[in-house]
Amino acid sequence: MTHKRVAILISGGGSNMVSLVDSMVGDHPARPCLVLSNDAEAGGLKKAAARGIPTAAVDHRPFKGDRAAFEAELLKPLEQAQPDIICLAGFMRVLTGDFVSRFQGRMLNIHPSLLPKFKGLNTHARAIEAGETEHGCSVHEVTAALDDGPILGQARIRIEAGDSAESLAAKVLIWEHKLYPAVLRRYANGDRTPVLLP
């Protein structure tokens, strides 16, 4: 069986990356081929290396906002790894339309809200401020518009009285770790039927 090759892009601790990597075993149709970060100090790189996965880092800061130049460097480890699928997992750089178009139809992202609600940052605080009773996370295919592509999975939770942005983030993260692996397994099998949790 030829496994699909998956590259995972991270910026921080990498808990979603770990849940993806730990799920790609046994009869799973995919295997990780690279964990790539825009921060060489990202905690997730050490976790990936400890699991025997090739890692690389391309620091965005020296490019001083020149996204095309940053992405030209970011492409080098990707071209070496030759992924079939790219998973953005807590990758906090906004990618240009040019970069996205190279991987159109094979790049996924996890976002901590029930898209299309609360695209962008601070999703948990905004959901509480808006008086929402439900919240959650979404996995979508990446397109040029931020947090906008076809939805491939969602997990819903109730917002309880007394929930803070922090307590909500912690609850949603638990479901992120279940949703993303479930979507990736289906997607790597060529199945785009949305995963709906719980």
Q: Catalogue the active-site residues.
A: 111
Q: Which one of residues 4, 15, 30, 85 is an interface residue with ligand GRF (CB under 6 A)?
A: 15
Query: Is 16 one of the binding residues for ligand GRF (CB under 6 A)?
Result: yes
Q: Which one of residues 29, 112, 136, 181 is an interface residue with ligand GRF (CB under 6 A)?
A: 112
Query: Is 14 one of the binding residues for ligand GRF (CB under 6 A)?
Result: yes
Measured from each CB, the residue nearest to ligand GRF is 90
Q: Are 77 and 56 in contact (CB under 8 A)?
A: yes
User: Any known ligand binding at 15?
Assistant: yes
Q: What is the 3-state secondary structure (H, E, C) of the chain?
A: CCCEEEEEEECCCCHHHHHHHHHCCCCCCEEEEEEEECCCCCHHHHHHHHCCCCEEECCCHHHCCCHHHHHHHHHHHHHHHCCCEEEECCCCCCCCHHHHHHCCCCEEEEECCCCCCCCCCCHHHHHHHCCCCEEEEEEEECCCCCCCCCEEEEEEEECCCCCCHHHHHHHHHHHHHHHHHHHHHHHHCCCCCCEEEC
User: Any known ligand binding at 43?
Assistant: no
Query: Is 157 one of the binding residues for ligand GRF (CB under 6 A)?
Result: no
CA distance 49 to 12: 14
Query: Is 176 one of the binding residues for ligand GRF (CB under 6 A)?
Result: yes
Q: Which one of residues 4, 6, 12, 30 is an interface residue with ligand GRF (CB under 6 A)?
A: 12
Query: Is 32 one of the binding residues for ligand GRF (CB under 6 A)?
Result: no
Our CB check for ligand GRF shows the closer of 60 and 111 to be 111
Query: Is 90 one of the binding residues for ligand GRF (CB under 6 A)?
Result: yes
The pattern of x and - marking residues 38 through 77 that bind ligand GRF according to CB under 6 A reads ----------------------------------------
User: Any known ligand binding at 16?
Assistant: yes
Our CB check for ligand GRF shows the closer of 14 and 149 to be 14
CA distance 109 to 59: 20
- For residue 133, the minimal CB distance to ligand GRF (Å) is 20
Q: Are 147 and 122 in contact (CB under 8 A)?
A: no
Interface positions with ligand GRF (CB under 6 A): 10, 12-17, 89-90, 110-112, 173, 176
